[in-house]
Amino acid sequence: MAERKQFQTETKQLLDLMINSIYTHKEIFLRELISNASDAIDKLRFESIKNPDILGEDKNLCINLSYDEENLYIEDNGIGLNYEDAVENLGTIAKSGTKVFMEKLKDLKNEKDEMDLIGQFGVGFYSAFMVADEVIVESLKYDQPSEKAIKWVSKGDGEYEIENINKEKRGTKITLHIRKDLNDFKILDEFIIKDLIKKYSNYIKYPIKMEVTEYKEEGKQEKEIKTLNSMESLWRKNKSQIKDEEYNQFYKENFYDWNDPLKTIHFKAEGSTIQFTALLFIPSKAPFNYYTKEFKRGLNLYSKNVFIMEKYEELLPKYFSFVKGLIDSPDFSLNISREILQHSRNIELIKKNIEKKITSELKTLIKDEREKYIEFWEEFGRGIKAGLYESIDSKDKVEDLLLFKSSNENKYITLSEYKERMKEDQKYILYAVGDSISYIESLPQMEMIKEKGFEVIYLLDEVDEFLIQMLNNYKEIEFKSISSSDLELGNKEEKDLKQEENKDLLGKLKELLKDKVEDVRVTDKLKKSPACIVSSDDNISINMQKILKQMDG
């Protein structure tokens, strides 16, 4: 005789929500049930280490999917549930993730909030009720005789029934009687199931099998049992066993790019506080929408091969938004939300870790493969500069990744290379602003500077000057525009003397130009040209004034 039991109050609430939700991400139920099946197999495998006999005849650990016109079946040969397990685990909410979810549920104001919330969480086993109006769990625990198997049935209406049944095979079979009111959402369809497995469960390490239609030559069709998932997650394999070709293939398939990545970064962190694997790629070409608002940065998150979310942005600082890839950590639970992640200390640690790694890889490129780095810089440099401009606190981490063209053969240089080459009597890092090299080279001020043999960095990009102003200095050496009025190149006394001698002339010129300039002075910056215009306030150069004016518009 079946025993009728009530769900715990909290569970009831959750079930109500599942049943009544018009939530669009119903598809996650499959991910949840498959990951439970995979967990159950993991547990069995763990038991079998101590006692290999428990596998018996049934050694091919796998997950089987099948369906008919009304039901979807998910079957595993994992550890199974006994009577107490079923009452305990399928009737109550014990998990912390779901508990937090329930807490949040209390503060909800409307349906939209509710949907957002389910979207942020995965809600485990109960998500089955988003698509099913009846769920049947039949299970035999590995250490029980077949007549001690159980059958658990619920319509999600606050009650469930449980009884002992006879079941020959070890493990759990879940039957979902699919709701008729799902409208657009079809699940009892070969192609939809295949797609969902690829999307969420591709890297589950046990085969997920289903009978599918195979198209043979001459238009013939045959039914065949196939494994739907690729099982092997590249990132969990040992680095030394992965060929470049495999990385490139993986990148192109998963991150929608035609080109091979410029650089692949694959590493594991196995500290006592955090554990994760990262597989990151630096693309060789910027995506077409990279410099638009449509572009979304972020890394994909997995927990032990199960896909959790796409493009989680908190793991990448803005200046590294070009990085693509994924993080897999056992510390992420499937039931975690973006919000909770954001406040987790782990995320902070992981972020720091990967930032450091990316920085050091880029620095190595600068040092060892300059051509490659320049290629990279020309694609993504503007993004790095704009990102750094917005988070200037990260100056120390990022300033050494910046490249500028300079008067040294018009080649790209880093600030540290500039510093290395500075003359003994040189106080500043000199820069000139313009939209082309030829424009800058024609500036009258360049004459004397060249003569003195000082190097000048060229700020050719609009964002450059803003960035330099923000940075203010590099390793305590100030930046100074070659057009700034207080830039001293020659002998100050000599200059002051000349200023005094020509007082009358300068006064007259000033009188003549009074609507146009603030002052007229003697300069030591010129060689051939008779005069040049400089800016009085060296925080805002002439060029920047132009840009600001445009912006005021």
Which one-letter DSSP state was computed for residue 175? Answer: E
Rounded-to-integer distance, Cα 173 and Cα 301, Å: 29
- 3-state SS assignment for residue 533: coil
- CB crowding 84-111: b at 16 or more within 10 Å, else e: eebbebbbebebebbebbbebbeeeeee
Residue 91 binds ligand ADP (CB under 6 A): no
Asked whether residue 121 is marked as a ligand-binding residue, the answer is yes
Between 109 and 148, how does the x/- string for binding to ligand ADP read (CB under 6 A)?
A: ---------------xx-----------------------
Asked whether residue 76 is marked as a ligand-binding residue, the answer is yes
Torsional sign, CA 64, 65, 68, 73: positive
Terminal C-alpha separation, the chain: 81
Longest dimension (CA), the chain: 115
Nearer to ligand ADP, 201 or 523 (CB): 201
Nearer to ligand ADP, 169 or 397 (CB): 169
Helices and strands per DSSP (H, E), number in the chain: 18, 20
Nearer to ligand ADP, 98 or 202 (CB): 98
Q: Which residues pair with 479 in a beta bridge?
A: 429
Asked whether residue 89 is marked as a ligand-binding residue, the answer is yes
Q: Closest Cα partner for 302 from 279, 322, 320?
A: 279
Which one-letter DSSP state was computed for residue 165? Answer: E
| Of residues 68-87, those binding ligand ADP (CB under 6 A) | 76, 78-79, 81
Nearer to Mg ion, 78 or 261 (CB): 78
Asked whether residue 97 is marked as a ligand-binding residue, the answer is yes
Nearest to ligand ADP by Cβ — which residue? Answer: 124
- Which among Mg ion, ligand ADP, none contacts residue 64 (Cβ within 5 to 8 A by kind)? none
- Site residues for Mg ion per CB under 5 A: 36, 124
Between 145 and 184, how does the x/- string for binding to ligand ADP read (CB under 6 A)?
A: ---------------------------x------------
**Residue 196 token pair:** 């969902």
- Which among ligand ADP, Mg ion, none contacts residue 172 (Cβ within 5 to 8 A by kind)? ligand ADP
Number of residues that bind ligand ADP (CB under 6 A): 15
From the centroid of its chain, how far is CA 83? Answer: 43
Between 11 and 50, how does the x/- string for binding to ligand ADP read (CB under 6 A)?
A: ---------------------x---xx-xx----------
- In the list 18, 28, 65, 90, the residue contacting ligand ADP (rule: CB under 6 A) is 90
Asked whether residue 485 is marked as a ligand-binding residue, the answer is no
Taking CA 482 as the corner, what is the angle to CA 481 and CA 483, rounded to the nearest 5 degrees?
A: 85
**Residue 537 token pair:** 């306030």
Taking CA 263 as the corner, what is the angle to CA 373 and CA 329, rounded to the nearest 5 degrees?
A: 135
- In the list 95, 177, 205, 318, the residue contacting ligand ADP (rule: CB under 6 A) is 95
Least distance in Å: CB of 44 to ligand ADP? 9
Given a contact cutoff of 8 angstroms between Cβ atoms, the answer to whether 257 and 251 are in contact is yes
Asked whether residue 267 is marked as a ligand-binding residue, the answer is no
Least distance in Å: CB of 212 to ligand ADP? 22
Q: Which residues pair with 413 in a beta bridge?
A: 404
Given a contact cutoff of 8 angstroms between Cβ atoms, the answer to whether 310 and 94 are in contact is no
Asked whether residue 241 is marked as a ligand-binding residue, the answer is no
Which residues sit at the interface with ligand ADP, rule CB under 6 A? 32, 36-37, 39-40, 76, 78-79, 81, 89-90, 95, 124-125, 172
Q: Which parts are annotated binding residues?
A: 32, 36, 76, 89, 95-97, 120-125, 172, 338
Q: Which residues are annotated as a binding site for ATP?
A: 32, 36, 76, 89, 95-97, 120-125, 172, 338
